[in-house]
Structure formats: C-alpha cells, structure tokens
Amino acid sequence: MATERAHKYGDGREALLAAVVQVVAEKGLRGLTYRAVAERAGVNNTLISHHFGSRDALLNAAMEWAAARSIRISDLSATEEIDADFAAALVDFVQAEPELQLFQYEMILESRRRPELRPAAVAFYEAYIGSMEDALRKHGYADTGPLARAVFAALDGLVLQLLTVAGPEAARDAMTRVGALLAGQPLAVPSQPGQA
C-alpha cells in the first residue's frame, strides 16, 4: 500500500518527498526517520542519503515540494473570485490531500523551534502570498501586498480549522464570506491629502 501511494507521485526523488510529507503529516517530526520514509516510498533507505545527504536537506526539499504542489493545485493566482465555487474547490483540495497542509503546519511550528528551517517556511508563505497578490492585481486592486497577506491569513486559518476543528460546510461558508468582504474593498487606494 505504501508503494502504491508513492507511485502516485512518481519514482525516486519525488516519491521520497511525497513520503516525507505523508510521514510527517501522520506521525509528526518525531516519527520522521529514513526507515519510515523509505518504507512509505517503497525504496531502500540509502536512496534518501544519496538524494539529500541530511535530514535537514530532506526537510527543506520536502517543504519546497509541498508548497509548490499545493500552490500548483490550488493556484490562487488563477482565482477569479473568492466565492462559493472557489471555497468548494479549496475545501475539496484540502480534503483530497490533507497531508500537504498538515506537513506545512508542522514545519511552520518546527521552524519556530529550529531557526535553520525558518527560511524555507518563510519562502513557502511568501510564495502563497505572491500567488494571492497576482490574483488581486488581476482584479484591479492596488497596494496588494498587505491585502494579499490579510486574505491569505484568513484562508490559511480556515484551512487549519478545516483540518482540525471545523467541518467542510463551516469552512466553505467562512471562505465565501472572506470573498464577500473582499468584494466590498475599493479597487484603488484613496489618495492622501496633498497628493496628486
């Protein structure tokens, strides 16, 4: 069964990264061993050292892989509206591959305890926020940095709730409400007194 899961993502390096994500999502970082990853990927554990060299290199690569996969699948930059259809698609995505988000939340918390992991955690958050900025710019919003961070923070928090304490319907309704609030925002930042 573990081999079947890994082959969903391919062989070799990609299967190992998918296995890391799955092991950490299931067992936390304390359960992450070369043996657990190798078993999940259906390979010999020497392959892990060959591809990554160290546990931290493996974790950093897995963080990049998980964020890229998540962004590619959810593609916030292609978002037309944060509406009921978007909310339903995001909830479906999270429910189909919850390990991607669970892994990322584990790594965010671990980066707080282990500063050497912080750059990777910051990079994947910035990638998500950048994707949201692109979506907002396409809709004519100005000064998208702070707005993108705020909207992404709301969606990120709702995904965390979906994974832990909220049902799909509550998450979808709240995401739709975020979109309704966003729709009420002015498209341009008003000029300050004394500016042309």
First CA to last CA across the chain, in angstroms? 65
The CATH number of residue 28's host domain is 1.10.10
1 domain residue, yes or no: yes
Over residues 63-101, the pLDDT tens digits come to 889 888 887 777 766 677 888 998 999 999 999 999 999
DSSP-based three-state secondary structure for 140: coil
195 domain residue, yes or no: no
Verify that 64 and 5 share a domain, yes or no: no
Verify that 12 and 65 share a domain, yes or no: no
Verify that 175 and 79 share a domain, yes or no: yes
Per-residue pLDDT, 140:
86
Mean pLDDT of the chain, nearest integer: 85
Over residues 2-22, the pLDDT tens digits come to 444 444 445 678 889 999 999
CA distance 114 to 63: 14
CA distance 183 to 84: 13
Nearest CA among 90, 178, 57, 71 for reference residue 132: 71
Per-residue pLDDT, 159:
96
Per-residue pLDDT, 71:
79
196 domain residue, yes or no: no
Per-residue pLDDT, 6:
41
75 domain residue, yes or no: yes
Per-residue pLDDT, 79:
72
pTM of the model: 0.80
Question: What are the residues whose beta carbons fall under 8 Å from the beta carbon of 85, sequence distance 6 or more?
Answer: none
Verify that 33 and 80 share a domain, yes or no: no
Percent of the chain with pLDDT strictly greater than 90? 49
DSSP structure string for 8-75: TT-STHHHHHHHHHHHHHHH-GGG--HHHHHHHHTS-THHHHHHHSSHHHHHHHHHHHHHHHHHHHH-
**How large is the average pLDDT for residues 135-158?**
90
**How large is the average pLDDT for residues 115-128?**
88
Does the pLDDT value for residue 178 go beyond 60? Answer: yes
Count of positions (residues) in the chain: 196
Which DSSP helix (H) or strand (E) runs through 99?
A: helix 98-113
